[in-house]
Amino acid sequence: MGAQAFFLAVFGLAAIGFGVAVFRTSSMVRSALALLFSQTAVGCMFLVMQTEFLGVLQIMMMATEMSIMAIFMVMFMMDPGGLGGMDMTHQKRFSIGAGVVAAGAAIAVALLADWGPVTVQAPAAAMQTRELGHELLGRSMLIFETAGVTILTAMIAATAVAIPVQRLADNGDKEVSE
């Protein structure tokens, strides 16, 4: 339990440190990489908490997601390298206040609530995967199916929003994109 708490704290500090770095660097590619490292540290926390399936899933998913995000950053940002030193923030004081209040409220609940006894022994990895499979295809099947359909809908909606709008030209026989 002591080693688990130690490694949980180490990966927690890494996740927080890289999370802060996301908004402290001017370079957008560095921001995306910092978020990738932060999310990977979160995945490592899952592994330390003996949730192997979710930990590996988190690391694999975030590696792909953040690589795509870095490409989008370079495509869309006015100053992706951060060489111009542009300030890309607004309402800073309000944002810091909101962040501190949100974190403070969650910390207060974590410290003041009576969580009861902590379970020391986690189910074996194979057992977890088996039981999660039973949960997904049994009691939570409707939620699982809804999540799948939601992703499909989001993919279609995102593609529909992203493709250029086609309209007929004034002479009526030729399509032009806006």
Partner 1 sequence: MTAVLIVALLTGAILFGIGVYGALSQTNLVMIMMGVELMLAGAMVNLVAFWRFLHPESYSGQMFVLVVMTVMAVEMAVGFGVAIARFRAIGSVEMEEAEDLKG
Span 28-57, contacts to partner 1 by CB under 8 A: 28, 31-32, 35, 38-39, 42, 45-46, 49-51, 53-54, 57
Q: Which residues, including other chains, have CB under 8 Å from residue 53's CB and lie 6 or more apart? A: 125, 128, 129, 132
CA distances from 1 to 50, 112, 130 (A): 12, 22, 25
Asked if 150 is part of the footprint of partner 1 (rule: CB under 8 A), the reply reads: yes
| Closest CB 83 distance from partner 1, rounded Å | 16
Site string for partner 1, 74-113 (x = CB under 8 A): -xxxx---------xxxxx-xxx-xxx-xxx-xx--xx--
Nearest to 35, CA basis, from 4, 64, 75, 6 = 64
Q: Which of residues 3-22 bind partner 1 (CB under 8 A)?
A: 4-5, 8-9, 12, 15-16, 19-20, 22
Size of the site for partner 1 (CB under 8 A): 88
Q: Is the dihedral of CA 24, 26, 28, 30 positive or negative?
A: negative
